[in-house]
Amino acid sequence: MLTRKQHELICFITDRLEETGVSPSFEEMKEALDLKSKSGVHRLISALEERGFIRRLPNRARALEVLKVPERADVKPIKKAAPAPAVSAPIPIAANDVLEIPLHGRIAAGMPIEAMEGQSMLSVPAALLGSGDHYALEVSGDSMVEAGILDGDYALIRRAETARDGEIIVALVDESEATLKYFRREGAMIRLDPANRAYDPQRYRPDQIRVQGKLAGLLRRY
């Protein structure tokens, strides 16, 4: 069962593809659904993808394909943006969209340091994010360099409260400090492993650790 906004969005995308062969941009979707930000569009797209109504085309970032269309009875039509110029081939390629996600300060990739020092926003290509709620943290330290995570990188984190062995997580230690590490269970303890042989694993009781998210991607500026 789709929400009204999900229903409106899939119908809008379908109509645009039928008219022009080109997917609407996130900005056009935002305006058509009267949403306040493109983050809301991203959440709707992810929900439709999870329910099997659309998919992102492989090897063509930000391209959308409609897999099935719901019934349109009793659905109020939404306003349409001006049609895009006609193209020679019906390849549905959307615009290069950027989302803004919260940037919650710095996180240690060495010894734990205080995280969530404040909040600003970080612009991230939508293609880097999957489903779920995301935020970003600036990496400080070198303990994850062997995993390709460098000092100054922006870690893109999908919010989660649980983790499996081997996943890279944001762990909140003693409700005060956060660190980015591999998650492992070791008997009755939780072990946080670095990806740098110069650093030792950190061991904690389960009640000392709270999972705050899983690594979903990295953003690096040069």
Residues involved in catalysis: 143, 181
Alpha-helix runs per DSSP H in the chain:
4-20, 26-32, 38-50
Candidates 168, 145, 166; CA nearest to 220 is 145
What's the burial of 208, exposed, middle or buried (CB within 10 Å: 0-12/13-18/19+)?
A: middle
Cβ(214)–Cβ(160) under 8 Å? yes
Distance, in Å, from the CA atom of 50 to the CA atom of 124, rounded to the nearest integer, reads: 21
Q: CB-based contacts of 81: which residues, under 8 Å, 6+ apart? A: 24, 28, 31, 32
Helix axes of 38-50 and 4-20: crossing angle, nearest 10 degrees? 90
Cα–Cα distance measured from residue 54 to residue 66, given in angstroms and rounded to the nearest whole number: 4
Distance CA 144, CA 197 (A): 10
State both tokens at 168: 């890279």
Contacts of 93 (CB under 8 A, 6+ apart): 22, 23, 60, 62, 63
